[in-house]
Amino acid sequence: LRELWVELGERRYAICIGRGLLVRAADLLSPFLNPSSSLLVVSNPAVAELYAGAVESSLAAAGYKYGLALVPDGEEAKTLSVLAGLYDRAFEAGLDRRSAVLALGGGVVGDVAGFLAATYMRGVTYAQLPTTLLAQVDSSVGGKVAVNLPHGKNLVGAFYQPRLVVVDLNTLATLPAREWRCGLAEVVKYGVIWDEGLFELLESQVGLLARYAAPCLPEAGSPAPGLAARSLDSGTVSLLEEIVWCCCRIKAEVVARDEREEEGLRMILNFGHTVGHAVEALTGYTAFRHGEAVAIGMAAEGRLAVAMGMWPPQELARLERLLSAFSLPTRLPPELSPDAVLEAMHRDKKAVGGTLTVVLPRRLGEVTVVRDVPEERVKEVLEESRS
């Protein structure tokens, strides 16, 4: 078990990373749980089938009262109506102000369960038990919780920090290939924005990691646990532990220094996201998963940095090679016109006062937030980026 901390004064919390931690959930969480109040485990059917048993038996063995609430699989779970159902479940399960919510699943479950915790009875304790690579390296840390509105993603939410994040690497054994790809896109992002060593580690282990991301593995649903589990040997788990630890350390530091994205530092986590969000929105959130759109975005924003003379082209080539090795897309779909992408970039909720702000690399491991990026340049690069 490796532990690191998100330093937020009296709200500081630990991220525990290791194997087989779900069966120890009650033990790890006991400092934050009130033995006489009920708990609510929030998950979805696919994840619950694989992993709720481990958490439930740990809670039951320790004598905790708990309920299990399931939300639909996928982004549909992040709606106000699903949230309303969760408030009912919380009430039925007897949650009170000293209760806790445990979010067991990917980023979707983490976001909606976190928002439930932030708002039920003006806020109850919660912990994140992330089961996708993306959630383990990104969404479970930092306290951004939200649901979507028909007008857009994450429009109703809060900054509400968990009390603990428990990363059980064993859960990655069942992750579908496409979800590996999406998680790896965010991992690559950390390498570019902060940690050249992490980027080099990914390059040196590309063959091993690419096996999990390869499209020939099952794409959707919950594959038989034995299938991928066979290939998560202890060498791979050590590598994953190192990778997840590096990413969480970066996210923890950025969040500790700029919790509410007010100082500008947290914005660096948006590398690849300005173009990425535009691509997701223009394709109706169906053609690409978030990580895939971010991969397209990182390549496009990388090209912009090169075009602006800020970034050596050899480093862009390394980024593109790594993304391609993970079977991630690096080109914009040809049907998206640069004008439409540019307009969507302006609509992104992070655009401020009509000017385009983009996070651009200077060298591997370092980025800068560039305001007032010349639109013509962006358009040219978007045109070049179409496949």
Ligand X SMILES: NC(=O)c1ccc[n+]([C@@H]2O[C@H](COP(=O)([O-])OP(=O)(O)OC[C@H]3O[C@@H](n4cnc5c(N)ncnc54)[C@H](O)[C@@H]3O)[C@@H](O)[C@H]2O)c1
Q: Binding residues for ligand X, per CB under 6 A?
A: 44, 46-47, 50, 73-75, 78, 105-109, 111, 131-132, 134-135, 138-139, 142, 144, 153-154, 171, 174-176, 179, 182, 222, 290
Q: Are 223 and 176 in contact (CB under 8 A)?
A: yes
* Strand, coil or helix: 103: strand
Q: Which of 56, 78, 144, 170 is catalytic?
A: 144
Asked about 346 being catalytic, the answer comes back as no
- State the catalytic residue, choosing from 78, 178, 249, 277: 277
Residue 58 CB, shortest distance to ligand X, in Å, is 17
Q: How far is the CB of 3 from ligand X (least distance, A)?
A: 21
Annotated catalytic residue 261: yes
228-265 burial: b if 16+ Cβ within 10 Å, else e:
beeebeeebbebbbebbbbbbbbbbebbbebbebeeeb
DSSP state of 121: G
260 is catalytic: no
273 is catalytic: yes
To the nearest whole angstrom, how small is the minimum distance from the Cβ of residue 374 to ligand X?
29
Phi first, then psi: give them for residue 160, nearest 5 degrees: -150, 110
Residue with smaller CB distance to ligand X, 203 or 241: 241
Name the active-site residue from 189, 270, 280, 292.
Answer: 270
Which of 122, 151, 230, 376 is catalytic? The answer is: 122
Integer Cα distance of 189 and 60 in angstroms? 39
The answer to whether 122 is a known catalytic residue is yes
To which residue do tokens 């699989």 refer? Answer: 73
Rounded CA-CA distance 170/228 in Å is 11
Nearest to ligand X of 268, 382 (CB atom): 268
Angle at alpha carbon of residue 69, lines to 67 and 73, rounded to 5°: 155
CB 252 within 8 Å of CB 5 = yes
- Least distance to ligand X, CB of residue 79, Å: 11
Q: Residues 112, 81, 43, CA angle at the centre, nearest 5°?
A: 40
Nearer to ligand X, 78 or 163 (CB): 78
Q: Which is nearer to ligand X, 157 or 302 (CB)?
A: 157
| Rounded least distance, CB 290 to ligand X, Å | 6
349 is catalytic: no
Nearest-angstrom CA–CA distance, 175 and 228: 8
Question: Is 277 among the catalytic positions?
Answer: yes
What residues are labeled active site?
A: 122, 144, 186, 251, 261, 266, 270, 273, 277, 290
